[in-house]
Amino acid sequence: ASSDIYDPSTGSVSPGPLMSTARQGLSATTQLDGKVFVAGGNNGSVDLVSTEVYDPAAGGAFAVSATLATARQGHQAFLLPHSNNILIVGGTSAGVALNSSEQYIPWTGTLNTASFMTSARAGATGSPLSQDGLLLVAGGKDSLTPPNTLQSSELYGFATVKTDKADYPPGTTVNITGSGWQPRETVALTLVESPLIDTHGPYTVTVQPDGTFSDSSFTTDIHDLDVHFTLTVVGSASQAQTTFTDANKGNLNSFTVSCSGPVGVGNPSSCTATATGTGSNVPSGTVTFSASGSGSFSATGQCTLSGSGHTSNCSVNYTPSSAGTGSQTITATYPGDSNYNAP
CATH number for the domain spanning 271: value is 2.60.40
Give the pLDDT band of residue 233 (cuts 50, 70, 90).
very high
Query: Rounded to an integer, what is the distance from CA 15 to the centroid of its chain?
Result: 30
Query: Which among 118, 143, 171 is the end of a domain?
Result: 118
What is the DSSP code (8-state) at residue 119?
A: S
- 240 and 258 in a single domain? The answer is no
pTM for this model (two decimals): 0.74
pLDDT at 221 over 90: no
Domain membership of residue 264 as a residue range: 254-333
pLDDT at 45: 97
Q: Tell me, what CATH number does 109's domain have? A: 2.120.10.80
C-alpha 322, offset from chain centre? 55
Segment 174-180 shows an average pLDDT of 98
Do 213 and 301 fall within a single domain?
no
Phi-psi region of 150 (alpha: psi -120 to 50; beta: other; left: phi over 0): beta
pLDDT digits (tens, 9 = 90+) for 273-288: 999 998 667 999 999 9
Per-residue pLDDT band at 231 (split at 50, 70, 90) = very high
Q: For position 279, what pLDDT does the model report? A: 67
Number of structural domains, the chain?
3
pLDDT in tens, 306-321: 998 889 999 999 999 9
The pLDDT assigned to 225 comes to 81
Rounded to the nearest integer, the mean pLDDT of the chain is 94
Distance CA 245, CA 205 (A): 22
In a domain, 210, yes or no: yes
Question: Does 153 reside within a domain?
Answer: no
Q: Does 149 map to a domain? A: no
Quick check: is 231 in a domain? yes
Per the domain annotation, does 234 fall within a domain?
Answer: yes
Percent of the chain at pLDDT > 70 equals: 99
Same domain, 104 and 40: yes
Cβ burial of 104 (10 Å; 0-12, 13-18, 19+) is: buried
- From edge to edge, which strands make up the β-sheet containing 36-39? 27-30, 36-39, 50-55, 61-67
At 98 the pLDDT is 98
Are residue 166 and residue 81 in the same domain, yes or no?
no
Task: Give 233's Cβ-side CA count (13 Å radius).
Answer: 35
**Which of 246, 281, 296 marks a domain boundary?**
246
The answer to whether residues 70 and 79 touch, using CB atoms and an 8 Å cutoff, is no
Q: Does position 338 have pLDDT exceeding 80, yes or no?
A: no
Widest CA span in the chain = 93
- Determine the pLDDT at residue 325: 84
Over range 145-174, report the average pLDDT: 94
Q: Is the predicted pLDDT of residue 249 greater than 80, yes or no? A: no
Average pLDDT of the segment spanning 116-125: 97
* Domain shared by 10 and 95, yes or no: yes
Separation between Cα atoms, residue 283 and residue 307, nearest integer Å: 8
Do both 203 and 289 map to the same domain?
A: no
Q: Which domain-ending residue is among 118, 150, 181? A: 118
What is the tens place of the pLDDT at every residue in 69-117?
Answer: 999 999 999 999 999 999 999 999 999 999 999 999 999 999 999 999 9
Contact 198, 118 (CB under 8 A): no
| pLDDT on residue 72 | 98
Identify whether residues 53 and 30 lie together within a single domain: yes
Higher pLDDT, 180 or 195: 180
Left if phi > 0, otherwise alpha if psi is -120 to 50, otherwise beta: which for 301? left
